[in-house]
Chain A
Amino acid sequence: MNNRFFAECGYFASTSFLRQELLLDISAVTSAATTPVRTAASRRQDPECAAEELAKALKHEELGFVLFFCSAEYPLEALGRALESAFATVKVSGCTTAGEITPQGYDRGCVVAIGFDRRYFAVDYALVEDLARFDLLRAQRLVDQLLENCRARSLASINEHSFALTLLDGLSSSEEQVLATLDAALGRIPSFGGSAGDDNRLAHTHVYAQGHFYARAAVVIMINTPLPFEVFSTHHLLPLEHKLVVTQADRESRRVLELNAMPAADAYAQMVDVPKAALGPQVFARHPVAVKLGDQHYIRSIQRVNEDVSLSFYCAVENGIVLTAMRPAPLLHDLHHMLDSLHQRLGTPSLVIGCDCFLRRLELEGLGELGQASQLFKRSRVVGFNTYGEQHHGMHVNQTFTGVAFGSLAR
């Protein structure tokens, strides 16, 4: 069963990368055994065994916080209990996914985790259970409390060296308001995150905090570190000529009933020239639509075709918004370029936490490029999950690769 398990410390990653870098990494490990982060993944289906494997790989005296992403196929209550007992006093948070990114690249049906060394990271998190009543006052209190607890560790100055990571229930339909409120409270502190997934079943997505999984909830994780870091977001989609106007929408359920005064699915199928019956995630991934605000296009991803020929979205919709048809440019090229620029600015990242839209994964699968993307992730030490939507500086965005990259401390 050994080959079904892989757990490795971030610095031990055997990469085909520059030999020189490999040498540097080894010296880092041998010099003080102070790798700021360790990453591990387990494919064991039994929750107890999976939790045990992760704990074995991540636990050390200075382990301060564990962030994990797990397949929604796990028996969640049992996995929650197992993780809680395996990591004992160490704080653990995470969410369910529509696919995982392990130290080896894309995977499914497993659990991946990151262990943060308390000497390099001050981490605190808070659970928001009542998303509808998350007002500015609550947000401010929550942020203040998180910052206070990080500040108490006095690792690095709060304003320059902190960011917030948000994990939201991806089917709660409340990302926009929660994010706008939270962003106002965060002020200048950067934030990013992902909406939890459930392996494309679109039934229940969960975030994990305080030993339990919660639906219709959010987790806000504050990370303060002296390591250099950069929050980023990228996509590979370009605008086309064609536009659709939302002529009837139900904002509560994120449904678009009509586009160009036609049944929404009909109008969309006609525009992308695909039979209505063939509409599904693969088509949505290849033929996205976006709203244009200022000079930028923001993808608004379609979730599914409903029986009444309306379209459900992964994000807020409104009457009168104009959707621009988009086409994908080579995804791998964009990803490569993005990761390269991170290398240039931060050196070889010690870790990248990535929130990768599951539609991107679908597109890669369709193109047969999943393996190549995995290699790129592995090389840049990306660990993360496939989302039902990403968050970037208070914006709820779709079909992007969004995350944070950590550099190394200057030696």
Chain B
Amino acid sequence: MRDSPDIMPETPSERALAEENRRLRRICHALMERVESGGAANGAPYAAFEHAVLLAEQVRERTEALHRTLDELGQANSQLHEAKADAEAANLSKTKFLAAVTHDLLQPLNAARLFASALEEHRLPQDSALLVGHIGRSLKDVEALLGTLVDMSRLDAGILKADIAPFQINGLLDALAEEYRQVAGVRGLTLHYVPSSVVVSSDFTLLARVIRNFLSNAVRYTEQGHLLLGCRRRPDGLDIMVGDTGPGIPELQQEAIFLEFRRAQPNHESHSRGLGLGLAIVDRISTILDHSVLLKSLPGRGALFSIKVPYGQLTKRSSELTVEAAQVGQGPLQGAVVWVIDDDPAILEGMQALLRGWGCRVRTAASLSALEAASDGEEPAVLLVDYHLGDAGEDGVALALRLRRCYPALPVVVITANHDAELKRYARELDMNCLLKPLKPLRLRMLLTSLLEERAT
């Protein structure tokens, strides 16, 4: 012991002080020892406990910090959710509004197109015929623009769904080539078309829309030279390509042109009637169809757009719609009895004029009973029926089914502004055909011709 050696405690209080002094030294010593060991994890059990407490404390602190962060994130997140919901609601109401407006516009436009078409069939003085032609083309442009808007709103609303079926690609491309050869000719361009009879699996209408948009762009932006429409077989699908010798697209813009309302060269006013939605639609459709779209371009040399479509296997029925373009002239339409049911008198009148012009015998009415009363027991060769027959009662398909009870296997064409693939599929299952509004006279004529020919054989 290193107790103070100099002073020997004598009195009891001195002894007590000396004892306390001794104990304090011991306590001091123990504490120093402990402090100097620094709680080092020397494998001692108590050190393990201290270590565990330290860890638990750290975990607790971190958990608290994490909870705070999570709370903040949660708040930010819920704000974002609200903002997103607002934006979505606004977008939805915009889409609904657009769909409603375009739908309402399509009805009278449809009628106007039918009247104009019917008027063209009349024998007119040459300058009048020219004017009628202009009216027809202007209406067609309006219709195209409206169609684009409808498509865009439907694509955005997710209404448009792919209706995939196999078909021969020339059934689509031949008609487009023919159409755009003339369009290109007007602008002093030539169109090279390389036909192909490969069978692909896709949505006929949507794919047509894509290629049509490629071709329209090519025509719009190419000042001189030629356009190309053709296919190339690849191991993973058929590349359908549209090339031009236009100004091309700088690499920096190659992504941007697929966005809405963008045009490669906005100063290119002279002949741009488009809204700049063409490629945005291509982009959305290719996503829906799961077909990849490729753009190759050298500025100053031209551009090559292509879409890759998977190969398909032709079944028996699927070639029917891709009929050879109907020849205009004397044909099965001559004298054919066509019944038309629509709740819009203007449409009925337009249809009557158009179909009469093609030599059909037309019966029109707003309802089946009215039609049957007016028919004098004459058997219909084909029925054209509007899908949406007013707010009350049955739809066009149900009406057609009812009529088929009297006339089994009656060819039916359902006309609808509803782009739903479900309706198309349903109609196809019932062996009915669908045409979309606005009704294209050429397309109606092709379809009627093929239906009546089929019935004759």
Contacts and interface: CB of A to CB of B under 8 A. Distances in A.
B59 interface: yes
Interface stretch (A93-101, A174-182, A274-282): A174-182
B394 to A, nearest CB: 44
A6 to B, nearest CB: 38
28 contacts: A176-B46, A177-B45, A177-B48, A179-B52, A180-B49, A245-B27, A245-B31, A247-B27, A247-B30, A248-B30, A258-B26, A260-B23, A261-B25, A293-B50, A293-B54, A294-B53, A298-B53, A316-B44, A318-B47, A319-B30, A319-B33, A320-B30, A320-B37, A321-B46, A393-B52, A393-B59, A396-B49, A396-B52
A138 interface: no
B34 interface: yes
Contacts of A396: 49, 52
A395 B54 CA distance: 10
Contacts of A183: 52, 55
Nearest to A262: B23
A219 B233 CA distance: 68
A394 interface: yes
A315 interface: yes
B84 interface: no
A318 B44 contact: yes
Contacts of B46: 176, 251, 316-318, 321
B48 A180 contact: yes
A173 interface: yes
A393 B34 contact: no
A79 interface: no
Contacts of A394: 52, 55-56
Contact of B34 (A173, A180, A320): A320
Given A393-B56, A395-B53, A321 B27 contact: no
Contact of B49 (A261, A316, A320, A393): A316
B33 A320 contact: yes
A246 interface: yes
Interface string B42-75: 0111111111111111010000000000000000
Interface SS of B by simple majority: helix
A199 B117 CA distance: 104
A16 interface: no
Contacts, number: 90
Contact of A315 (B24, B30, B49, B59): B49
Contacts of B26: 247, 258, 261
B35 interface: yes
B361 interface: no
Given A180-B52, A316-B48, A320-B30, 20 more contacts: A180-B51, A245-B27, A245-B31, A246-B30, A247-B29, A247-B30, A251-B44, A251-B46, A260-B27, A261-B22, A261-B27, A293-B54, A294-B57, A316-B49, A318-B44, A319-B30, A319-B34, A320-B32, A396-B49, A396-B52
Interface string A304-322: 0000000000011111111
Contacts of B56: 392-395
A394 B30 CA distance: 27
A20 interface: no
Nearest to A245: B27
A229 B12 CA distance: 64
B40 to A, nearest CB: 11
A344 interface: no
Contacts of B44: 251, 316, 318
Closest 4 A/B residue pairs (Cβ): A320-B34, A316-B45, A261-B26, A318-B46
B246 to A, nearest CB: 56
A319 B24 CA distance: 15
Contacts of B49: 176, 180, 298, 315-316, 395-396
Contacts of B23: 260-262
A296 interface: yes
A176 B43 CA distance: 10
Interface in B2-39: 22-27, 29-35, 37
A129 to B, nearest CB: 19
Contacts of A392: 56
Contacts of B54: 293
B87 to A, nearest CB: 31
A261 B27 CA distance: 6
Of listed A251, A254, A394, residue having the most chain B CB within 10 A: A394
Interface string A165-199: 00000000110110110010000000000000000
Given A180-B48, A260-B27, A316-B48, A321 B34 contact: yes
Contacts of A393: 52, 56, 59
Of listed A173, A319, A322, residue having the most chain B CB within 10 A: A319
B59 to A, nearest CB: 7
Nearest to B60: A393
A254 B48 CA distance: 14
A179 B22 CA distance: 38
B31 A320 contact: yes
Contacts of A254: 45
A318 to B, nearest CB: 4
A251 B31 contact: no
Of listed B31, B49, B57, residue having the most chain A CB within 10 A: B49
B435 to A, nearest CB: 51
A260 B20 CA distance: 10
Contacts of B34: 318-321
Nearest to B28: A245
A340 B314 CA distance: 71
Contacts of B29: 247
Nearest to B54: A293
Interface string B178-205: 0000000000000000000000000000
A254 B43 CA distance: 15
Of listed A261, A293, A322, A396, residue having the most chain B CB within 10 A: A261
B26 to A, nearest CB: 4
Nearest to B51: A180
Contacts of B35: 320
A183 B54 CA distance: 13
A155 to B, nearest CB: 25
